[in-house]
Each structure stands twice: as structure tokens, then as C-alpha cells.
């Protein structure tokens, strides 16, 4: 029998909770030791540990059948994959923020401005929908320092408690998208993979219900 291949984040904010969810579903597997791939001992599942940004591509190409990522990564990737379950953890939002001393007049503030982000696809779509012409400056990390060093007038980044914005002299002014961990799947799963996924989804839903 073939196995369902599940991609989860190797190390980061989603890792522990992804492992915990699979364990709560009754899956037993050796975890740790820096292995990149591991087999469940009691379920036809193989787990791949990857960078979260690579997961949409692997799922689209069917290298992994399913994956667990933030909705923000799903949306930014623009890959042809499907969300099959929202997982209710790692809740956050992608927001626009500006220096706190700005007297913010509303979204038109961003017209003609420069905004730093690691999420150019999501941000450009948002600006287009809101008829804002702005320059999107792509940087891969430490986005919060961009206004302070004169690189941008504002930023678009993940916010959860808001304390990072605060400590960098910024304030949140618009929510661009809300996010949480989601399970994504390849759009043309074979019958066997689909059957295993259905079993797993049934267990995930039971685990979620028990927590309500
Ligand atoms: O190495 P790899 O590429 O796999 O990981 P990564 O560094 O890209 O991602 P990681 O582990 O930081 O985050 C994984 C996912 O967790 C994100 O894609 C989000 O879906 C989700 N998540 C939830 C968050 C946060 N909360 C979060 N607070 N991702 C990032 N942050 C960062 C944010 O970028 C900002 O720097 O935390 C800071 C803001 O937090 P607050 O609490 O100060 O507002
Ligand atoms: Zn990443």
C-alpha cells in the first residue's frame, strides 16, 4: 500500500504544533535527530520536514500529498493547491503598519508611498483591490526596521501580539489578511492517498471537536 506524504515545517513557529496535531490524531513516529523524513509506525504516512515556504511547491508537484502551513504562505505562493482544513493554531494577521507619529488618514496614505514586505503578491493584490498605487519593496526579513532606516514609509508584515511593531515605533493601521495554520492538499490526489487523507481528516476533526 502506498503512503500519504505529509510536509510540515522543519523548525519554526508551526513545527511543534504540527507534530502535536499528528500525534493527537494517534500517529506514532520517531521525531527529532534532525531527520528530514520519517515514517509513521502505525499509519500509512510519511512525514517530510521542510522550510514552510517550500511546502506549497512540493504539494503542487505532488512530492508531498498534503502539508501544514500558514494561510499567509498559502496565499503568497499562488500555487494550485487546496485548503482542506483550517487548523485553529498559529493565528495571526498580515497588516500594514506605519511610524507611530504619523497622523494616519486612511488607506489613501499609501498612494505614492513605498512599503516594505516579504509578502509582495498578497500586498500588490490588496493595493490593486483598493486602487492604491504604491511601490512594494521586497525584503526577506527584519521588515520592521525598514521605515526607521529610511527604506520605506510603511511595512506589511505578520502581527500576532503587536509587541514587535510597538518596540520598533510602528502602529498597525490596516489588516490585509487574517491567517492561521491550514492543511493544504494536491488537487489531483490518487485514490489511495485520498482515502488515507480522509481518515486523517476524520481524526483531525474529532481532535478539534474535543477541544471546543
Ligand atoms: O524557516 P522557515 O522558512 O520554515 O520559517 P519562517 O521563519 O518563514 O516562519 P516562522 O516559523 O517564523 O513562522 C511560520 C508561520 O507562523 C508564519 O508563516 C505564520 O503563518 C505563523 N505566525 C504566527 C507567525 C507569527 N504568528 C508571528 N508572530 N509568523 C511570524 N511572526 C513574527 C512576525 O514576522 C513578526 O516579526 O513575529 C513578529 C510579530 O509578532 P508579535 O507577537 O510581536 O506581533
Ligand atoms: Zn519561511
Q: Please write the tens of the pLDDT for every residue from 106-137.
A: 999 999 999 999 999 999 999 999 999 999 99
Residues 113, 46 share a domain:
no
ipTM, interface predicted TM-score of the complex: 0.98
17 in ligand 1 pocket by Cβ < 6 Å? Answer: no
Element housing 161 (H / E): none
- Alpha-carbon distances, residue 16 vs 26, 45, 118, 151, 179 (angstroms): 16, 18, 23, 35, 18
Specify the pLDDT at position 33: 77
**pLDDT score recorded for residue 192:** 96
Q: Which domain, by its residues, includes 30?
A: 4-90+180-211
* Ligand in closest contact with the CA of 95: 1
pLDDT recorded at residue 32: 72
Position 35 scores a pLDDT of 86
β-pair partners for 50: 9
For the Cβ of 90 lying below 6 angstroms from any atom of ligand 1, the answer is yes
Closest residue CA from atom 28 of ligand 1: 160
Residue 136 and residue 65 share a domain: no
φ, ψ of residue 89 in degrees (nearest 5): -130, 170
**Low-confidence spans in the chain with pLDDT less than 70:** none
- Supply the pTM of this predicted model: 0.97
* In a shared domain, residues 24 and 70: yes
Residues, Cβ < 5 Å to ion ligand 2: 52-53
Could you tell me which residues are beta bridge partners of residue 202? none
**d(Cα 137, Cα 140) in Å, to the nearest integer?**
10
Tell me the best of 7, 11, 13, 167 to mutate to test the pocket of ligand 1, counting ligand atoms within 8 Å of each CB and taking the most: 13
Alpha-carbon torsion (68, 74, 77, 78), positive or negative: positive
Q: Please give the tally of structural domains in the chain.
A: 2
Residue 103 shares a structural domain with residue 175: yes
Amino acid at each position: 500500500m502506498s503512503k500519504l506524504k505529509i510536509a510540515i515545517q522543519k523548525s519554526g513557529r508551526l513545527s511543534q504544533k504540527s507534530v502535536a496535531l499528528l500525534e493527537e490524531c494517534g500517529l506514532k513516529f520517531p521525531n527529532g535527530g534532525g531527520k528530514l523524513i520519517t515514517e509513521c509506525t502505525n499509519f500509512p504516512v510519511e512525514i517530510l520536514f521542510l522550510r514552510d515556504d517550500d511546502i506549497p511547491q512540493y504539494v503542487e508537484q505532488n512530492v508531498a500529498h498534503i502539508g501544514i502551513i500558514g494561510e499567509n504562505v498559502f496565499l503568497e505562493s499562488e500555487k494550485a493547491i487546496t485548503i482542506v482544513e483550517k487548523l485553529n493554531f498559529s493565528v495571526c494577521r498580515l497588516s500594514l503598519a506605519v511610524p507611530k507619529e504619523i497622523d494616519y488618514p486612511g488607506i489613501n496614505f499609501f498612494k505614492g508611498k513605498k512599503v516594505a514586505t516579504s509578502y509582495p503578491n498578497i500586498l500588490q493584490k490588496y493595493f490593486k483591490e483598493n486602487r492604491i498605487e504604491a511601490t512594494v519593496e521586497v525584503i526577506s526579513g527584519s521588515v520592521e526596521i525598514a521605515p526607521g532606516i529610511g527604506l520605506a514609509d510603511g511595512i506589511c508584515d505578520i502581527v500576532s501580539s503587536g509587541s514587535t511593531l510597538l518596540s520598533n515605533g510602528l502602529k498597525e493601521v490596516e489588516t490585509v489578511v487574517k491567517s492561521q495554520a491550514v492543511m493544504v492538499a494536491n488537487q489531483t490526489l490518487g485514490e489511495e492517498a485520498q482515502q488515507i487523507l480522509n481518515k486523517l481528516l476524520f481524526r483531525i476533526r474529532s481532535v478539534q471537536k474535543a477541544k471546543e
